[in-house]
Structure formats: C-alpha cells, structure tokens
Amino acid sequence: HVQLVESGGGSVQTGGSRTLSCLASGDSDTINCVAWFRQAPGKERETVARMTIGVGGGTKHYSDSVLGRFTISLDDPKNTVSLQMDNLKPEDTAMYYCAKGVGRRCVGLRAPSDFPYWGQGTQVTVS
C-alpha cells in the first residue's frame, strides 16, 4: 500500500525559497513516476514537476511556469522526493501535492488521473 506524506509548506515572501518533501512508502515498482502538483483556489490541479525514479530513472520534467526556479530531486536512501522552490512569486501560492504513478516512466503522464497515489497536500503561501 503506497503512502505519500508531504511536508515543508508555509508562508514565504516574494523572491524567497522553500523546500517541500514527500516521504514515500510501500512502493515495490522498479521504475515509477513521482510528480508534484499544485492547486490554487478556483483553479484546476496542475503538474509543476515530474521525475522518473528507479531503474534507469533520473529524467525530470517541469512546467513552463516553474522552469528554472523549481528543482525536483530524489533522496533515495530516505525514500524522499523534494521540490526546491526558488524565486517564489505570489502566483505560486497553492496547495502542493505529491503524487505517484504505477510502474512506468513519466513520459506521457501529466494529468492528475494518471497518478493513483496522492499525499494530503501542503500549503505554500507567497506574499
């Protein structure tokens, strides 16, 4: 049973940085896709970063809105996927969610429906 637990949210000033963490457990796939999504009030949930993990993994994908500012990374021994967010803007304010796919690379996976496993979310507020 896959479980994802996010942490690291909070309030930050414009231009500041924040690191989100996603602790994963229960995953037995040799390859998988882990993603960070966000959802602002009144808006659809959108993907901001994805990373293929496991055998032959490492490929990363970013949305245009965060490219060059956000970095997704894996701390394998700790089963933790992080999202380093720099140069934050008010429009980055949202609930951020960690999500995991099932046994395949991230290529072609973008919609929330592509990811069956989700964390509870962590709020990031930029002002």
Rounded to an integer, what distance in angstroms lies between the CA atom of residue 27 and that of residue 17?
30
* Structure confidence by residue, pLDDT tens digits, 11-29: 999 999 999 999 998 877 8
Q: Which residues contact 44 (CB under 8 A, 6 or more apart)?
A: none
CA distance 39 to 25: 24
% the chain with pLDDT above 90? 83
63-79: average pLDDT: 93
Please say if the pLDDT value at position 127 is more than 90.
Answer: yes
At which residue do the structure tokens 């991230």 appear? 106
What is the structure's pLDDT at 27?
79
Q: Which of these, 45, 54, 33, 22, lies nearest to 122 by C-alpha position?
A: 22
